[in-house]
Structures are given as C-alpha cells and as structure tokens.
Amino acid sequence: MKKHFIIILSLMFLSLELFSQRAEINFNNNWQFILDDNQSFSKENVNDFNWQTLNVPHDWSFEKGVRKGGDQGQGGGYHDGGIGWYRKTFEVKKQNLSKVTYINFDGVYMNSEVWINGNHLGKRPYGYISFRYDISKYLKQGKNTIAIRVDNSLEPSARWYHPCGIYAPVKLIVVNPTHFIPNSIFIKTPSIKEGKATVSIDAEINGDLKNLKYEVKLFSPEGKELVNTCKKLKVANPTYQFEIENPRLWSPESPTLYKAVTQILDGKRVIDELETIFGFKTVDWKTETGFWLNGENVKLKGVCEHWEGGPVGGAWTKPLLRWKLQSLKDMGINAIRPSHNPTPPMFYDICDQIGLLVMDEIFDGWHKKAPQDYGKQAFDEWWQRDVKEWITRDRNHPSIFVWSLGNETHDDIAPDLVKFGKNLDPTRLFTSGAGNPEDMDIEGVNGGSETKAFIESKTFDKPFISTEAPHTWQTRGYYRTQTWWRDNELPGTYELPNLTDKEVFFYEGINPKNWRNRKQSFNSSYDNATVRVSARKYWEVMRDNPWHSGHFRWTGFDYYGEAGLAHGGLPFNLFMGGALDVAGFKKDLFYFYQSQWTNETMIHMLPHWTHPRMEKGTVIPVWVYSNAEEVELFLNGKSLGKDKPGSVWNEMQCEWMVPYQDGKLEAVAYIDGKEVKRTSFSTSKQPSKLKTSIQKLDAEDSFTTSYIITSEALDEKDNLYPYGENKVYYNIQGDVKKISMENGNPIDPTSRTKSDYRALFFGKSRLFLRALPNAEKASITTASILGDKALYITNKITIDAKQIQIFGTSNSDDLEIRYTTNGENPETNGKVYKGAFQVTDGTTVKAVVKLNGKVVLNMEETFGKNKGLFWGDEHSKDMWIGRGINIAAEEGILTGEAKASEDAHHFKGSGFVKFDGKEGAVTFYKENDGAGKEYAIRFRYMHNDAGKTYPMKLFVNDIYIKTFKFVPTGGWVQNWKFVNAKVYFKSGANSIKLETTGESGPYIDELFID
C-alpha cells in the first residue's frame, strides 16, 4: 500500500511538471503514527515498522476515549493529551527541485514541530490555526521524509474537549519560483449600489517579475466571464479594480458566489494561477436598529459551535462537516459563531455555499483561562502571527461578516488587537464575546444578556449582539414538568413557571442517591431546564427589541467536555446545551426553532406517548411546535380541540393537558382550514425489532464518502420504543473505516471507537463510517438482543440480526444466531434462535451471530428489575431540595504532589485528594451564572495529626483570599469536618485554588458553594 502510494505521488509530480503551473496535492493519506516521544523520530531514516498507518484528519485523543483521570479533566470530557509523532515519505522527481514546494497544514493541535529530511522547519503553538512551510531547499531527488511532533503534554490546554494530532487536511503546494504569496489575494467590494458594484483585487507576488504580465478575470455564478484585465507586471503588489453590472447579492437565503481567477503570465504561458471565491453583500450595524444586510434589517438567528461539537471529536471530513452545518441550517439559523477559535478553511467554504453568516473568532482568552492553554503558553509571542494568518486566510469569504477577537476575557491588549486586525482588513468591524466591549466596534455580551434586569435596563452607545444566549439544556427523550435552574433561580430573571403542580415523570439516568451533586440530573426537553431564560422567551426578547441584533445560542450540537461545570462530573462526559445531541439526533428544541425560523410547513409533537409506569389519567402537557395557522390534537381518534401557535413566548407552542391512556396521539396542522401536515405517536410495547437506515454523504475534494448508520428499537407494530437501551452490535466488512459510534448519552462510558457495540439511548444510536481510498464494497452485520431491560412490560426477549450492504455488490450471506440464558458459551452450547423467548429477573442472555459459518459478533445483555434507567417516584430527588453546589476535589486540577485517592471511608463522589506529606494544590472551577456577587464556600477535609494544622492558601481567580488552618478531625478514615470562607465570584468562570504552604495538606474531599 505504501509503495503503491509513493508511485502514484511520483507520477503526479511528473504530470504536474509537464502540464500545470501550480499543483495542490492531497497529502492526507498513508501517514505513519505513534503515540510516543523520542527525538530520534525527527531523523530522516527511522524504523517505523510498528507505527500505525492512517489517513488524516486524525484525533488520537478521541480514539483513546474517556478515562477517569483523563489529562484534559472535566473541561475536556476526561480525554487524554500526550505527545504523538507522524511521519510520511514521498518521491520527488529531479525536474521538480527547481520549483517552490510548500507543505500546508489546516490544523494541528497543538505545539507542532515539523522536520523535512531531518531538517527542523519550525514550531506552531496554536492548535487552531493553519500554517505552512517552504520545504524547497531541503528536498532531494527520490525519497523524502516529513516528520511532525505534536505536543499536548501540558493539559488541560482548553476549557472544552480539544483534538490531538493532525485533525485537518494537509496538502503540498508546488509552484514556480515566481508565484502568488500565500493568503495575499484580497478581494474587496468598496461600492455596491443598485445596478453596479466595484470590485478591488489586491495581490502580492514573490519572485522575478521581469517580462511578466498579470491577468485577472471575474466570472459569474454560472461560470460566464464578466471582465478581464491584463497588464505588464511593474510592482510585486498589484491592485486591479473592476465595475460589475447588476451584481447578485450574497445572503443566507441566496448564497450567490462569484469567482476571480488571477494569473501570472510569461507570454501566453501561465506561471501561476489562483481561483478565489467571493461575493457581494452590504453590512451595516446601527445602535438603534441592530444588524442590516443588503439594506434589510435582519435578526441574527445564530448558534455558537465548537469545532469539536458532534460525533467525531476534532477529525471532521468535509462530507461530515457539510452534514453538520446543513443540519443547523435546516433548523433555520442564518449565522454561526465558531467558538472560540478559527476553524479549518473548509468550514468557511461550506458556509459560503449553503448560506451561513459567520462571526469568525480567533481566541478564547488573551491570557491564561485553562491551566495550560494557548493564552498561557504562547499568546504574547504569537498573537500577531496567528491573527495575520487568520484574517488574511479568511477575509475573502462572503460568509464572514464580523471578526471576533476573544471570549470572556479582558486585557489592555484589546486596542492593539483591533488596530492590528483593521490593518489587515478595514472592510469589517470587530467585536468579542464579552471581552473589552469598550474597545470593540460592536458590543458582544455572553450569558448576562439573558436576564430581565439586563434587557429592560440596558442602554447602549454602540450596536449590540448576544454572543452567547440562550443557555438552555435538553436531554433527548427526557421530560420533566417542573422547571429546573442550573444554580437555582437567579434574581432578575424572567419567570418560567412549572407546567404541572407536581412532577409526573420519574425516570433518571442515575439513581439520585448516587448523584455526586444536584447537577447530575438529565435535562428536560420541554424548554424548562435552563441557566437564566427559556429558548422561547429569549427569541421573543431579541425579536421584539429593535436594538437587539440577534443571538448566538449556546450551542448548536452537544459537545464533549465541560462535564463537571455543567453536569457535575463523571459519569457525565459531555455538555447537553445543543439543539442536536452529540450523535446528531434532533432534540425537541430543534423543532421549536424550526417553527419560528423556517417557512416550509412543519409540525412536531412532544412528549412521546409510551408511559408504562404512569398511572392512567395522569395529566401530561402535550406540546406541538408548528408554523401552520392552527393545530388539532386527537387521542384515539377523538378530537381534543384546536390551538394556534402564538407570538408570546409561552404561547409559541400549541398546548393541551391530556389525561394519559394508551393509544394513538395525533396532531394535524391546518392552513386556511385545510390539512397540510400531521404527525402521531402510538404507545409502544417492548422492543422486538432493530430498524437500520443508511445516509450517504457524498465524497468531495480530497475526502471519500461517509455514511451514517442509524439504529432504532421498534416494537412488533413498528413503533419506536422511546426507552430503548439495548446494545447494538456492529461487524464491519470491506473498504470502510469506523469513525465513531454515538448515541447522545452523556453518561455512557463505552468506547466510541474501539468497542463493537453502542447501547441505544432513548431508542436510538448511530455508527459513523468513512470509505477508504479506492473503496469497492462494504457491508455491516448488525444485531441486538432486544427487550425491556427492567422486564417491567414483559419478560419476552427477541434477537434481531441483519446483513446490510452499504455499497458495492452484495454476496449471498447466511446468518445464524445461537444463544444461551444460563451463562454458557453460545457458540458451543447455544440454541439456534428461532423466535422470541422468556427470561427471569437477573438473566444474562449471551448470543453469537455467525456469517457464513464464522462468528462475527459476540453479544451479551442482562435483564432485571434494577437494570437500565432508574425508575423512581415523586420523592426520589427530595434529598437534593435546597442544596447548593458541591464539587469533588478529585475532579479539580491537581498539581504538585496532590493525588486522587480512595483510601479513606465516607468520602463523597469517587474519592478525595491527599498530599502524603508533600506539597501541591487543587484547583476547582465554578461557573457563576448571574452577576458578580459574594458566595459562602466550604471545604470538607480530614486528618488526625495532633498539633498539625496543615495551613493552605485560598486563591480565587489568582487573588489571595486567606490561609486556612485545618485542625485535626479525630481520624484518618471517616471523620470529616469543614473550613469556611466568604468569597466574591465574578460573572462567568471562576477558579478556586487551595495550595499547601510548606507543611503539606490534609485530605480534601469536596468544595461546597452556597
């Protein structure tokens, strides 16, 4: 395979020499990788026989998966960092040695260093920026070797999950010595008036200009040449200007793209050529009326989105990225804020094409925010180079309408950042997400803009945008009628009443007795689980206030990380603020936005209508989101009346209070009295079938086709069983690679990349695949042992297995299932499965699936009354009423000799922190949802050393507060006590550090915040 690739690449170089002036060569495939560190790996010749062969994009942290104590901590979803090396060999023909060759990286996280043939090229600290090196002088005829060291040894280096490795495309760019300098083309449209527009094109050329010409051609969206100019080159930075008749404007509704072709000519021979996509649009910001696009007052209906949001970590291919962005566009958004960093260029290409305005953001902070982030490691030395790369690379994209310089940060550097940025692009304005608003053109405010007190009292002297709002959380398939506030209801917030007097739903992912804190509940899908405001109310606020330019919801997709701050820590490993879950399944909230932001008729109903443990007659709020004129609800064929979607926030959903009974719940939407859409649920029995569907994502650019395999648990009448949680097993055959398996479950510890199964989560799960280069055929065997995990509905079990062809020609395959219920090996002692069978409480069913006589799947599922979801009652969570927030010490950032332990008894959470006579510190992080204010905090500790007080210093946000003295508690095993303090927490993220002062420290168990 390796030899075959080298031959192909060699032929590519030869053909490029003969037929093209510029070559951009896909350099993604056939890298060698090792998760280890040895400086000898930089040498030209290394024995890499035992290294892994892979294609980039690659994210080794995601592939390794979640680990208790993972290097990235709670912020990174308990994933690891480390140091990895990549190597690749390629052939160069002699005639190409006279060319200039760049190697271009779209994204390597982080602290990458590159060698070519043993020669060190440089280092790039920032993991979220593209970069390139001129490797020409180090190339030689024949075999050449490139080596890359990626250093993520200092963790956590971000406040959310970050990738590790070469997570974005790589290419070789081969040009003549005279060529366009990378990122030097700058297309501006200084004047756009009715019927005419001016286009100005700047360029910078490297090399000898003697006797050369410079030609520019502009092409319409249909590819028709509109204008061209060709002149003798006199300067290295030429500027041409054109007039275009009747330009068609770019907008989210009509993303019209033009093309500029710039050429350096030697007579008629093309020396270098670049194609640049651009568009025409006008942008205006007004303090009184907000955002204007192409002369129209437009509300920015946006989402924030981490590059890593969704199911693949950081290793996005272009087909999968297009699926992700189109999913958000389908919800009705017109804008997106990549948070809090630039993305690889293909992101902006897709936004240009599908019509998404981009608030392009460069940094999270201008100083340390995470313990080992770019702000700490490299910002001071590198920010100018990184800002220059960012703006010059992205400034031609019509989708980008504003630059954002930072997020929840403050520093005197802000004016310099703005000035530096405007020198690179004077055509756009600058903002930030709550960073030095006084220095920005547009005032961006994060979560603080969600409160009634802010909205009704705030006055502005510049345009305003909610850069993060609203923060509402939903767990797909989970419902509660009682309002839930993350840190208790805050003063000055809009009211969010309960939907019923008493709670009617009593299932949980974890028994509340085993929660580590009150955050470890799932979050309700009724739009009543929030930090400060509901999604419905905030849409009303931004819609009805002319000065409110719009919002960027936190977030579009769920993402890995921030599991402790938001959800209390392990077993939670991801953040549930998205309108789509991390598998890409749409939450109910998705359809709320779609009902408000899209025109195509839609209807969506919630909750499902399967409640086997609910007493008949219990009144359930039934909501329908629709953009039709009115909706009628039917239960078992009987009309329950009509309702109209309203414009007031709590009337935006149609609503009925329905006494529960089994049957069919159906909603019918009408316009002008005529039916236009309908949807229904029928009460489901136990799952007995596995439905599998395949979505193909077409190959594009250098990326092969991707596939999304969706599995759903159905009953015998093909109704979705909404509590389905059985494992779905996959055996993959042929020319595809597994990217991940994902179900959206925030507490599922199963490996997303190494396991051969993933459990259904509320009835659904997914497998993500990528075709290998030159793929010819692929198939999967998928199977599940299906039934009600708790045996509450019935003790009947079925096994469903199928062989499914993904692409290519299919074979005639023979599937056989054998199973046991007594713990024996099903391959040797199992019965042939012929139909449903019954089990008793506590039974483990084992099964094998044979394909053409060979075992391809080994399966196991245990059933019993204490298995699966926890089913409680109205008092199950009483112990958490009125309690503040507690954070386990072992979830903090441990430095020095501080270590997590489980040696004592009666600690809370999964352990505590000990120092063993040595020095160290533990740092906690607390998100303050409201305004800055004073809090009471307590540390739970233990020791039994007579005469010792183990003094420890308390710091909040790096400011010294006091020194605690820890008196003996009477034991080293189970006698815990508290020390107390009052501290001031600023709005947003706060760090709380306890540090020893030369006498070591006691056992530290928890931080309580009241």
Please enumerate in sequence order all residues whose Cβ is within 8 A of that of 1006, keeping only pairs 6 or more positions apart, or say none.
Answer: 886, 887, 888, 889, 908, 909, 939, 940
The full 3-state SS of 829-897, as one line of letters, equals HCEECCCCEECCCCCEEEEEEEECCEEEEEEEEECCCCCCCEECCCCCCHHHCCCCEEEEHHHCEEEEC
Q: What distances in angstroms separate CA 680 from CA 605, 657, 673, 823, one per listed residue?
A: 8, 17, 20, 41
Angle at 228 between CA 223 and CA 234, to 5 degrees: 140
Give the span between the Cα atoms of 131 and 105, in whole angstroms.
5
The answer to whether the beta carbons of residues 240 and 201 sit under 8 Å apart is: yes
Separation CA 726–CA 798 (nearest Å): 11
Eight-state DSSP code of residue 772: P
| Backbone phi, psi, residue 356, to 5° | -130, 120
Contact 451, 429 (CB under 8 A): no
User: What are the structure tokens assigned to 113, written together?
Assistant: 């260093």
CA dist., res. 367 & res. 364, Å (int): 9
Grouping H, G, I as helix, E, B as strand and the rest as coil, residue 60 is helix
408 is catalytic: yes
One-letter amino acid of 210:
K
Separation of alpha carbons 557 and 800, rounded Å? 31
Q: Answer for the pair 726, 861: CB distance below 8 angstroms, yes or no.
A: yes
CB 112 within 8 A of CB 105: yes
**Distance of alpha carbon 67 from its chain centroid, rounded?**
19
Q: Which of 408, 632, 712, 742 is catalytic?
A: 408
Distance CA 497, CA 504 (A): 15
Whole-number CA gyration radius for the chain: 30
Q: Which is nearest to 334 in space by CA: 252, 255, 402?
A: 252
How far, in Å, CA of 204 to CA of 181, rounded? 6
Q: Tell me the backbone φ, ψ of residue 27, rounded to 5 degrees.
A: -120, 30
Residues 6+ apart with CB under 8 A from 426: none
CA 26/CA 168 separation, integer angstroms: 12
C-alpha–C-alpha distance, residues 520 and 523, integer Å: 9
* 523 Cβ contact partners less than 8 Å away, ≥ 6 residues apart: 473, 474, 475, 478, 484, 529, 576
Q: Which residues pair with 996 in a beta bridge?
A: 952
Q: Which residues are registered as beta bridge partners of 553? A: 303
Say if CB 887 and CB 924 are below 8 A apart. Answer: yes
Alpha-carbon distance of 477 to 675, in angstroms, equals 28
How far apart are alpha carbons 689 and 69 in whole angstroms? 38
Distance (Å) of CA 823 to CA 132, 746, 787, 830, 947: 58, 30, 18, 10, 57
- Map residue 7 onto helix, strand or coil: helix
Q: How far is CA 709 from CA 728, 743, 751, in A?
A: 11, 11, 17
Which residue is listed with tokens 């060319």? 99
For residues 261-299, one letter each, b for 16 or more C-beta atoms within 10 angstroms of the residue's C-beta and e for the rest, the string is ebbbbeeeeebbbbebbbbbbeeebeeeebbbbbeeebb
Catalytic residue positions? 408
